[in-house]
Amino acid sequence: MDCQPQELLISVITDIIASDRHVAVGAASPIPGCAALLAQLEAEHRMDVTILHSRRDNRFTDGARELFDVASQGRIDTFFLGGVQIDGAANINLVGIGDKTKPKKRFAGSFGSALMYFVVPKVILFREEHSPRTLVNKVDFISAPGASPENVYRPGGPYGLITGKAVFLFDRQVGRFRLNSLHPGETLEGVIDATGFQFDFNSSVPQTSVPTSSRLNLLRQKVAPKVYRFYPEFAKRIFPDLSTA
């Protein structure tokens, strides 16, 4: 059964979070949201999922403040962060491009990204676009750092980076990414050319596992209708045969 690129990314994330107890997904994150709901179904609901963009899948009543409190108490296993820029040290930039005093372009800002990065044990960096424009050698502004000095208490941090081309894992000991797998159709040379930072890799890099037919059926038949409730445009685009009845 053929799958779309977004369905591949959903499946990759589902495998990574399969054993988690509580996965939280922020706003404007439809692919991580799909993955969390899919993992929850495959775990037969032995996983708590909080999706801030959804009324039905969000038990918090006090918005982001409750999210921050629960995360700080160690009650969230996985969270997702993106960035206008992400560099090889897993620093992320959500503020702007160019000189911070006179940026060429200004974005929404860091909000609670730094807190979540410090307290959630498994932070998955996610960005569909894989280009030197987004994956840079050094971010223009550090919204949340990938690493901290040894004397800083930090139970959380980056687990890896998932893009439209590949999966990277982050080695916290050396502070670098290692290429874990290439998506179907991608090559090592192509990923090197499209990445603005240097990363480690083995002589032979495996291909990212594609979702099984049963997983795709579960995603399309059970998860997609749920996602339609809070990400309707995404659901209609990725699941054109979706029945919302």
Segment 51-86, tens digit of pLDDT: 988 888 888 887 788 999 999 999 999 999 999 999
Residues 74 and 70: their CA atoms lie apart, in Å, by: 7
Predicted pLDDT at 214: 97
Predicted pLDDT at 154: 96
* 37: three-class secondary structure by DSSP: helix
Residues counted in the chain: 245
| Residue 1 clears pLDDT 80, i.e. is over it | no
Could you give all domains of the chain from N- to C-terminal order, each with its CATH number? 5-82+112-128+144-191+201-238 (3.40.1080.10)
- How high is the mean pLDDT of the chain? 94
Q: Report yes or no: 244 and 224 within 8 Å, Cβ to Cβ.
A: no
**DSSP state at residue 143:** S
- pTM greater than 0.85: yes
Predicted pLDDT at 23: 97
What tokens appear for 169 in the block?
A: 């894992």
Among the ranges given (28-37, 57-66, 191-200), the one the predictor scored with the smallest mean pLDDT: 57-66
Residues 120 and 17: their CA atoms lie apart, in Å, by: 13
What tokens appear for 134 in the block?
A: 């987004």
Q: If you average pLDDT over residues 91-119, what whole number do you get? A: 91
Residues 51 and 217: their CA atoms lie apart, in Å, by: 22
Predicted pLDDT at 61: 83
- How far, in Å, are 74, 84, 121, 184 from residue 154 at the CA level? 11, 24, 9, 36
Q: Is 150 left (phi over 0), alpha (psi -120 to 50) or beta?
A: alpha
